[in-house]
Amino acid sequence: MTLKSKTAVVTGSTSGIGLAIARAFAKEGASVVINGMGDAAEIEKERAGIEKEFGVKAIYSPADMTKPDEIAAMIALAEKTFGSVDVLVNNAGIQFVSPVEEFPIEKWNQILAINLSSAFHTIRAAVPGMKARKWGRIINTASAHSLIASPFKSAYVAAKHGIAGLTKTIALETATHGITVNCISPGYVWTPLVERQIPDTMKARGLTKEQVINDVLLEAQPTKQFVTVDQVAALAVFLTTDAASQITGANLSMDGGWTAG
């Protein structure tokens, strides 16, 4: 258990990539704070499941990632409950697709708040403790869209490019304090969110399930395979190890070759 006696806070971790990362940290012995939206009973089932399966302590914070005060309170809760925040994963994110001239201003503001500004607020709150302990791991979930663009995703692409820049900046600021700061940039990841989009796309475009997967979702990924949540989680775990202590300020692509072209 490489993370025994460590505490990890993972935003947007009630499902999908974030939940897989939280579970992977718990498997390594870390206490975890999960956060995100969803059905209260389902969230409690996942929280209790982490404790039972991995023999660690897990708590849930309902902090709204658009509200700086709630974000700061989540970090404070983790420090009060466990004594430290050693690993911070900024994973919370939403998406909205629209031509720029029709893009709702409130959606732009919401995406920038959740996908980018929330990471600033968590980092700002967690770094003092990490500096004091001379150890910390900050991992930001970016996207292939932190490196390249797609049409109709102005807010998302802007936020993910911002995450890449924020990662580099904080890495330089904390480089002599035993803290590493990196981002993981997945391509299309097989999650319930993606799976639920398939029937609507089949209907809208008159395609089979296989055509939607291969010609729409995986069109940009040369391997023609989805990234799995467990693969993203495994990379996140690796970034917390001593072997990765000299990896900082990096944007690590995991996209089946999408951004290689």
- Which sign does the torsion angle of CA 115, 117, 122, 123 carry? positive
The terminus-to-terminus CA distance of the chain in angstroms comes to 38
> Does the 7-189+227-252 domain belong in CATH 3.30.360.10?
no
- Which residues of the chain are in CATH 3.40.50.720 domains? 7-189+227-252
Predicted pLDDT of residue 196: 85
Average pLDDT across each block of 10 residues of the chain; the chain has 261 residues. List them in order: 92 97 98 97 98 98 98 98 98 94 97 98 98 98 97 96 98 98 97 85 92 91 96 98 98 97 80
The predicted-structure confidence for 44-64, as pLDDT tens digits, reads as follows: 999 999 999 999 999 999 999
Q: How far is CA 144 from CA 62, 87, 127, 215, in A?
A: 28, 23, 26, 18
- Catalytic option among 25, 82, 108, 156: 156
188 is catalytic: no
pTM, two decimals, is 0.96
